[in-house]
Structure 1
Amino acid sequence: MSRKPLALSLSIAMAVSALGTAHAGELVGPGVISTGLQETSAAVSPDGHTLYFMRSDFAEKDDTILVSHERNGHWSTPEVVPFSGQWHDSEPAMSPDGKRLYFVSNRPPHDGDAPVTAEMNGQHFAGSHLWYVEQQADGRWGQPVHVDGAHNDGAMIYNPSVAANGDVYFSAHRADSGKLYQIYVARRTDKGYAAPERVDLGDIDHNRMDPGVDPQQRFIVYAGNEGDSLGSADLYIAFRDTNGHWSKPVHLGGDVNSPSLENAPSLGPHFGELYVSSSREEEVHFPKKADTISSLQARLQAPLNGSRNLWLFDISDVLKAHGIDH
């Protein structure tokens, strides 16, 4: 990778080597960003020095968007962004120019509305609509703006990803999704966003979620299981031809996938950077070194305890093999 902004620290390097399939990845901000809690959905500023992400409880019923800044090679203690902390806010996504930060939330869409709820298989839960904040002249984010449109139908829009022309890709369960989730795109027009179109990645018997789209829409990375997943969900890549058709999805090789859950991929600002949420954990060998209560608590509360953490991988070789070199 041309730039390695996220150096491993603490004793994580030893833990990573024990994972085998993860040794080429970098754990993002071990102990600071990646912790014993759930961290997903990295959104990185164009200069690579500011990282937005989601931290949640294990049941993922309480999601909050945080931000951390890289200074002198280290990530700052994360803080709750000013527009989050009251609602079920999740899955931040940076526009390629860095001027908008999209996210989804169950907050009331307009003044006087009720919070958004969703229903599936008889279960009711916090729903989600699409929102964004826009960068102001002083560099701060403005007030959240609700993105009206049919993409909010059903209140199950997840993991937005924004192309350079403003098109928004996302995963959702909609009328044409079948029994599972599929990936959609809402095209940006002069009058707002057009009705979502399902991205044709093959038959809808496979679950597909969490798109991370190339700004020029040449390829898309997503989480799912096309029948050859190593775990409950792996990451796949599909390429778009000049006629707008998508290739058959390819299972990402190398160290990106593991027998653990991988999801919520997003592209970094530099060529080949792929941020991933993974629940891969440190392997425990028995008999282990005898734990004290202090060592046990420290280990169980640290990254690589089976919670989801943020990782950074390099997929530049995969892109170059398909004629993409920048």
Structure 2
Amino acid sequence: MKLYGIITLCFLMAFWVLGNPKSNQQQLIYLGQTPPTSIPKIFAPGLISKADESEFGSVFNKDATEFYFGVDVNGKAEIRYTKLEGSIWSKPKVLLSQDTYSLNDPFLSPDESRLYFISNNALEGDDIKEDYDIWYIEREGNKWNPKLIRASPNINTDKNEYYMSFAENGSMYFSSNKNAPINRKHDFNIYVSVFKQGAFQKPKLLGNSINTGAYEADVFVSPDESYIIFCSIREEGYGQGDLYISFKDDNDNWSKATNMGAVINTTGHELCPFVTKDGKYLFYTSNQDIYWVDANVIQQLKNQNN
């Protein structure tokens, strides 16, 4: 009787899973990959992270059923995507690519109606620019309109604007070297532009708890603006570029940014951070592959800072 009961239970569970689309959906999100632990691991090796390619900025939609990522192809970046169609993830396809200029670091707007990215696309013609600006395309139904639209002139300048992310209220965090001395073109700082009355306002430079005389870029802000993660190149770092984190206190002040440690950072280059909308996973690029790790690392670092 005991064996019969176990067999019956297994049958009922299998029937429930197969007959419950929501359960199947939960198993298939994040490309159906086995979730990471507190030890980072390469995301979707052989499918997304490939040994013969360099992957950079990446982002999932809020339901974890769409994935966008940048790939370097012979020194020129393009944006690819894959999505969950029924019970199958589509083969990664090129969404945006050009022969003469790069497109990289995709990031969805809070309402997911726009896909933002950076590009050295010229304002006119097919020639490339010497600097990168922030652009976007718009969603029309279930498809993306391929028309490239340059973001607000309050955001873009004649210098470089890099890697943007958004708070839930629409504020854009990004980096720029617009105020860098001529002989220090790699001196990037992090800015925030408040979204108000349907427009991005004049960006404000974050304080010296974030920005230093070093390189600060590739900033991710949590939806509630309680923390930011960014890449910086500092003397005390582990390698070519490390991920740092800062938390906002009850008075809206940012804590002094701290290195995220050897669990995340290596002797190589860590950049392009992104935390999934459910708050479960931290994605980032390390040594030209995309990694993911349990986002509990963020809470642990916050506890250490308190």
TM-score interval, smaller chain: 0.7 to 0.9
Q: Residue type matched to 2:104 in 1?
A: S
Structure scoring higher RCO (CA < 8 A, sep ≥ 6) equals 1
Corresponding residue for residue 249 of structure 1: 257
1:175-217 deviation line (CA, Å, top 9, x unaligned): 1679311111122222622222111143622211100111111
Q: Residues 62-141 of structure 1: matches in 2 within 5 Å?
A: 62-70=76-84, 76-81=90-95, 83-86=96-99, 87-109=101-123, 112=124, 115=127, 117-118=129-130, 127-136=131-140, 138-141=141-144
Q: 1:198 aligns with which of 202, 205, 209?
A: 205
- Is residue 314 of structure 1 aligned with residue 294 of structure 2? yes
Corresponding residue for residue 216 of structure 2: 208
Alpha-carbon distance between aligned partners in 2 of 1:101 and 1:239, rounded to the nearest angstrom: 27
1:206-264 deviation line (CA, Å, top 9, x unaligned): 21110011111111000113442111111110011233321101111362112221111
Contact 2:122 2:129 in 1 (8 A): no
Contact 1:46 1:96 in 2 (8 A): no
Would you tell me which structure has more strand in proportion to its own residues? 2
**Stretch of structure 1 that moved more, 186-195 or 25-34:** 186-195
Seen in structure 2, the aligned counterparts of structure 1 residues 54 and 317 have a Cα distance that, compared at 3 Å, is: closer
Length-normalised TM-score, structure 2:
0.77
Seen in structure 2, the aligned counterparts of structure 1 residues 85 and 155 have a Cα distance that, compared at 3 Å, is: same
Would you tell me which structure has more helix in proportion to its own residues? 2
Alpha-carbon distance between aligned partners in 2 of 1:222 and 1:321, rounded to the nearest angstrom: 14
Seen in structure 2, the aligned counterparts of structure 1 residues 271 and 73 have a Cα distance that, compared at 3 Å, is: farther
- Is residue 156 of structure 1 aligned with residue 136 of structure 2? no
- Unaligned segments of structure 2, at least 5 residues: 1-25
**Stretch of structure 1 that moved more, 138-147 or 63-72:** 63-72
Quote the offset at 1:6 in angstroms.
5.4
Q: In structure 2, the residue corresponding to 1:151 is in which secondary structure?
A: coil
Q: Residue type matched to 2:45 in 1?
A: P
Quote the offset at 1:75 in angstroms.
5.3
Alpha-carbon distance between aligned partners in 2 of 1:271 and 1:64, rounded to the nearest angstrom: 27
Quote the offset at 1:113 in angstroms.
5.9
Seen in structure 2, the aligned counterparts of structure 1 residues 71 and 148 have a Cα distance that, compared at 3 Å, is: closer
Alpha-carbon distance between aligned partners in 1 of 2:239 and 2:262, rounded to the nearest angstrom: 15
Aligned residues: 269
- Unaligned segments of structure 1, at least 5 residues: 10-15, 17-21, 119-126, 280-307
Seen in structure 2, the aligned counterparts of structure 1 residues 69 and 40 have a Cα distance that, compared at 3 Å, is: same
Seen in structure 2, the aligned counterparts of structure 1 residues 166 and 113 have a Cα distance that, compared at 3 Å, is: farther
Contact 2:189 2:205 in 1 (8 A): yes
Q: In structure 2, the residue corresponding to 1:128 is in which secondary structure?
A: strand
**Stretch of structure 1 that moved more, 37-46 or 150-159:** 150-159
Q: Residue type matched to 1:163 in 2?
A: A
Contact 2:230 2:271 in 1 (8 A): yes
Alpha-carbon distance between aligned partners in 2 of 1:254 and 1:49, rounded to the nearest angstrom: 31
Seen in structure 2, the aligned counterparts of structure 1 residues 164 and 177 have a Cα distance that, compared at 3 Å, is: farther
Alpha-carbon distance between aligned partners in 2 of 1:116 and 1:187, rounded to the nearest angstrom: 29
Q: In structure 2, the residue corresponding to 1:174 is in which secondary structure?
A: coil
Quote the offset at 1:95 in angstroms.
2.1
Q: In structure 2, the residue corresponding to 1:155 is in which secondary structure?
A: coil
Contact 1:8 1:30 in 2 (8 A): no
Seen in structure 2, the aligned counterparts of structure 1 residues 263 and 74 have a Cα distance that, compared at 3 Å, is: farther
Seen in structure 2, the aligned counterparts of structure 1 residues 311 and 321 have a Cα distance that, compared at 3 Å, is: closer
Corresponding residue for residue 59 of structure 2: 43
Quote the offset at 1:77 in angstroms.
2.8
1:251-294 deviation line (CA, Å, top 9, x unaligned): 11362112221111112122141111001xxxxxxxxxxxxxxx
Length-normalised TM-score, structure 1:
0.73
Q: In structure 2, the residue corresponding to 1:216 is in which secondary structure?
A: coil
Seen in structure 2, the aligned counterparts of structure 1 residues 75 and 226 have a Cα distance that, compared at 3 Å, is: farther
Corresponding residue for residue 30 of structure 2: 5
Corresponding residue for residue 45 of structure 2: 30
Q: Residue type matched to 1:28 in 2?
A: F
- Higher-Rg member (1/2): 2
1:127-157 deviation line (CA, Å, top 9, x unaligned): 2221112222x22122332212132112301
Seen in structure 2, the aligned counterparts of structure 1 residues 164 and 240 have a Cα distance that, compared at 3 Å, is: same
Provide the alpha-carbon RMSD of the alignment.
2.9
